[in-house]
Each structure stands twice: as C-alpha cells, then as structure tokens.
Amino acid sequence: MSQILLQMKFFLWIKNSIPNLLTLLNLLAGCLSIISSVEGYPLWAGIFILVAAVFDFLDGLAARLLKAVSSVGKELDSLSDIISFGLAPSFILFVFMKSILLLNHIESTDLTCINIFILLSPFLIVVFSALRLAKFNVDSRQTSEFIGLPTPANAIFIAWLPVLLSSYNLTIYFIILNLKTLLTIIIIHSLLLISPFPLFSLKMKSFAWKENKVRYFFLAVSIILVVLLRWKSVPFIIWLYILIGIVQYVYHKVIKT
C-alpha cells in the first residue's frame, strides 16, 4: 500500500513539474539566443527566441490542461520571460547597433556620450520588459486581455528582424540596419510595453461573433498578410495587433465618451 502511495506521489510530482520543465526550456532557449548574439549569429538568436515563445505557450497550456497552476510556476515564468523576451531581444538590437557604429568607423576609443547612449539604448527593452512583467503579475485585470504590449509579442517582432535580414534583400538591409529605424523601434516598443492600451488575448471563451468580432477581424487580416507577404508578414501582423488595441482605446476613451 505504501509503495502504491509513493508511486502516486511520484506521478503527481511529475505531472505538476511538466509546466515548470517547459518554462525552464523557455529560459534555456533565451540563454542560447543571448549566446548566439554574442558569438555573431543574430539569425540563430532570433530563432531561439521563437523557440522560447513556443515553450512559453506550451507551459501555460500544460498548466491548464494538467491543472498544475502554481504560484511558483507563475514566478518562474516571469523570471524566464525577462531573459527570453527582455534580455535576449535587447542583445540582438545591441549587436545591430554595434555593427552600425562600426560601419560608420566609430571605434571604442572615440565613443561620445551620444554614441554610448545609442549603443546602450537596446537595453531599454529589457528595462521596460521587467516593468511590464511586474505590472502583469499584480494586475488582476489582465486575465482575458492584456494592458500594454505583451513581452513575447515584442520579442517575436525583434527576433524577426534578423530573419528578414537573412533574405539578403538590400532594401530590407538598409531599412533595418539604420540608426533611426532601430531607435524608433526601441523607443516606441519600450513605451508600448507599459502603455495603457488594452490588447486582446486570442483565448476565446466561445466562438460567438459578437464576443469575438475583433479577434476574427484580426485573424482574417493576418491571413491576408500571410498570403501576400508570407514569412515577411510577422512584423506587420504584430503592428496590426498593436494598432487594433490603440484604435479600441481611442474609441472607448475619446469617441464613445
């Protein structure tokens, strides 16, 4: 009898540990992304962030299906996210900024205050991601929707930049590897992480049109973008997601009132 109880406890422990294991794989993928950036492989850095996003989705799904939601899992998830979706994308942008400065023949010996700010500006992403995650953990309103840009969506956008560069398209190359472009992305996305804009979750309680018309509109336009742009569509889909949230916020706060 005692042996059966021990086996039951063991299987229960395994069941409850599966979501945490997936979260740790998310963390590992984030660490591999950082290593890839440091070693000069930004494409792999982006791919590992995408892998981390898959594990981030799976750990929540597993926790709900196995009914293994715990406070430890929640904290572990946030700690992993700050690495995978905060620090890792910051390193991708840091490598890009460093490359641009080197292309402009700016060496470490002649760094001005402005150039130092430019070089370190990518780490605003991890700072604001930390603020975003801290707010999420204590905000009871963010169960069926998000307030501010979720860190995984922000990280996926940044992770897709080296993927776009891998196409060896000169136009894309000169657009992305540009100080104004990158600084604009860093500043706007940092602010979006802690913005008051409500952004819908794709989790649907039912398939009714009235409750999900915004989600259906988003999915329909996203499919059109994928058909037209294929793998280049991901950044535009994320911007579409943000734009819908901003329009909804303006409508409810300004027009409707």
Distance, CA of 197 to CA of 183 (rounded, Å): 22
Q: What is the pLDDT of residues 107-139, one digit of tens each?
A: 555 667 888 888 899 999 999 999 999 888 776
Q: What pLDDT shows up at residue 169?
A: 83
Residue with tokens 């605003």: 124
**Buried b vs exposed e over 69-79: b needs ≥16 C-beta within 10 Å?**
eeeebeebbbe
Q: How many CA atoms lie within 13 A of 39 on its CB side?
A: 10
Of 121 and 205, the structure prediction assigns the larger pLDDT to 121
Q: What is the pLDDT of residues 87-102, one digit of tens each?
A: 999 999 999 999 888 7
**Range(s) within the chain of domains with CATH label 1.20.120:** 2-196
Q: What is the pLDDT of residues 164-181, one digit of tens each?
A: 998 878 888 899 999 999
pTM of the shown model: 0.89
Give the CATH number of domain 2-196; options: 1.10.3470, 1.10.10, 1.20.120, 2.60.40: 1.20.120
The predicted model gives 204-210 an average pLDDT of 70
Distance, CA of 183 to CA of 178 (rounded, Å): 9
**Nearest residue to 244 (alpha-carbon basis) of 211, 201, 204, 206:** 201
The predicted model gives 197-206 an average pLDDT of 75
pLDDT at 67 exceeding the cut of 80: no
Spatial contact of 148 and 195, defined as CB atoms under 8 Å apart: yes
**Dihedrals phi, psi of 200, to nearest 5 degrees:** -70, 155
The predicted model gives 36-53 an average pLDDT of 95
The predicted model gives 42-56 an average pLDDT of 96
pLDDT at 70 exceeding the cut of 80: no
Q: How confident is the model at residue 147 (pLDDT cuts 50, 70, 90)?
A: confident
Of 139 and 63, the structure prediction assigns the larger pLDDT to 63
**Nearest residue to 250 (alpha-carbon basis) of 210, 209, 198:** 198
The predicted model gives 201-211 an average pLDDT of 71
Give the angle subtended at the CA of 212 by the CAs of 209 and 216, to the nearest 5°. 85
Q: What pLDDT shows up at residue 257?
A: 60
pLDDT at 10 exceeding the cut of 60: no
